[in-house]
Amino acid sequence: MKKILFLDQSGKPGGAELCLIDIAKPYRDRALVGLFADGSFRNLLQQNQIPTRVFSTQPISVHKASDLVQGIKSFQQIAPLINQVIRTAREYDLIYANTQKALVVGALASFFSRRPLVYHLHDILSQEHFSQTNLRIAVTLANRLASLVIANSQASKTAFIQAGGRQDIIEVVYNGFEAKNYQTHESEIRKLRQELELENKFVIGHFSRLAPWKGQHILITALAQCPPQVTAILVGDALFGEQDYVKQLHQQVAELGLENRVKFLGFRSDIPQLMAACNLVAHTSTSAEPFGRVIVEAMLCGRPVVAAKAGGAIELVEHGINGFLVTPTQPQELAKVITTCLQETQTTATIASNARISASQRFDVATINQQIAKLLDCKIKTSYVSTNQPIP
Ligand code: UDP
């Protein structure tokens, strides 16, 4: 019986955290999710009856672009947290780090508690997103201490190897989804469109935290080039303090005179219903998306999706078959696809229907969880063999 200590640095539910809920669920009678910050993610875990403990309520000041000096300073700050995690890890068979800071803490805990470490890589480890120091730390710790790295896409795996990561420890496992959670009744869709005053509109949904690289501004620029009945809903909040960007988006909307055609809905928990209320879902990341949960979710909702052609999105979408791909940061190209979807409803509906069928098979959560269980089983056994401990 495997007991797993999952670690995640965030109190807020980003894509990596939502994925962790699905992974931790099958282990909930013998697992603990340790968080390094409190927030609404803890509530979501608890709603799913997953045991949760907040190890530290102090924000960790190191971030993706931090240099070595900042890193060393923050190390002193997180020493008590590391202590708590090491003590807790001794009660578990495996440590599963779900984020970068969780990898740092998990690696130390793995070393001192002699428990195997698995790192779930939800990022593209490139200099576009991370400082050189952070990249080096992540790759070195993973190479030296992780028995297994699970990459959320081929794109994340490739970037890991290019950054110096070991090929022999990394496996690609896509995010899993429960298809039945993405079915919405027609009456519910009508009610929602009415509430949001979207009747008779061609609605494009953008579902993502508000952050410059998620490219909401690209969609707004494209919208100005689309026919007037095309309206956008921006679903998501600035989860990591991107308030300047939020201001910028509102300004852009005002400058383009789009106040009646763009709605900011903030963070929502009814994503499947909102997606079902859309005519098209747009993904507009300006740099490579590691996976792109929203793309698969749109497919499962039976809604056509247009995605920025980079990173994991290319593994999910085949242009003209199960969705549309456009060059990142090219609003004109995006506007063209939007207009085509508006005009060619039959072809677009067929594409969306193909996508729903293939996505429900390809990303079935039960199958994905089996893949992960197999990998973890194997890692726990080999690790106990190498440390000469009896297998529990
Ligand atoms: N999401 C949500 N509420 C919102 C906006 C987004 O629950 O208001 C969810 C969305 O449905 C998706 C996740 O947040 O499951 C975002 O994951 P993705 O891989 O698209 O991006 P990430 O946040 O990991 O960069």
Give me the CATH number covering residue 15: 3.40.50.2000
Main-chain phi, psi angles of 33, to 5 degrees = -100, 115
pLDDT for 56: 76
Confidence label for 169 from pLDDT (cuts 50, 70 and 90): very high
Give residue ranges with CB within 6 A of ligand 1: 14-16, 18, 207-209, 235-236, 267-268, 271, 291-294, 297
The alpha carbon of residue 29 and the mean position of all alpha carbons in its chain are separated, in whole angstroms, by 25
Query: 3-class DSSP state for residue 41?
Result: helix
What single-letter DSSP state applies at residue 48?
T
Contact indicator for 318, 338 with CB cutoff of 8 Å: no
Q: Kindly give the number of the ligand 1 atom that is closest to the alpha carbon of 19.
A: 15
Q: Kindly give the number of the ligand 1 atom that is closest to the alpha carbon of 209.
A: 5
Same domain, 107 and 25: yes
Q: Kindly give the number of the ligand 1 atom that is closest to the alpha carbon of 271.
A: 11
Domain that holds residue 168: 4-176+364-386
pLDDT digits (tens, 9 = 90+) for 204-256: 999 999 999 999 999 999 999 999 999 999 999 998 889 999 999 999 999 99
Does residue 392 have a pLDDT over 50? no
What distance in Å separates the CA atoms of residue 135 and residue 358, rounded to the nearest whole number? 35
Same domain, 130 and 193: no
pLDDT digits (tens, 9 = 90+) for 70-121: 666 666 678 889 999 999 999 999 999 999 999 999 999 999 999 999 999 9
Same domain, 195 and 338: yes
Ligand 1 centroid–CA 16 distance in Å is: 9
What distance in Å separates the CA atoms of residue 342 and residue 327, rounded to the nearest whole number? 20
**10, 207, 267, best to mutate for ligand 1 pocket (most atoms within 8 Å of CB):** 207
Same domain, 246 and 272: yes
Same domain, 260 and 164: no
Contact indicator for 204, 231 with CB cutoff of 8 Å: yes
Same domain, 219 and 71: no
The total domain count for the chain is: 2
- How high does pLDDT run on average in the chain? 93
Same domain, 82 and 15: yes
Contact indicator for 173, 371 with CB cutoff of 8 Å: yes
Which run of H or E residues covers position 69?
A: helix 68-89
What single-letter DSSP state applies at residue 390?
P
- Does residue 391 fall inside a structural domain? no
Same domain, 172 and 249: no
- Does residue 392 fall inside a structural domain? no
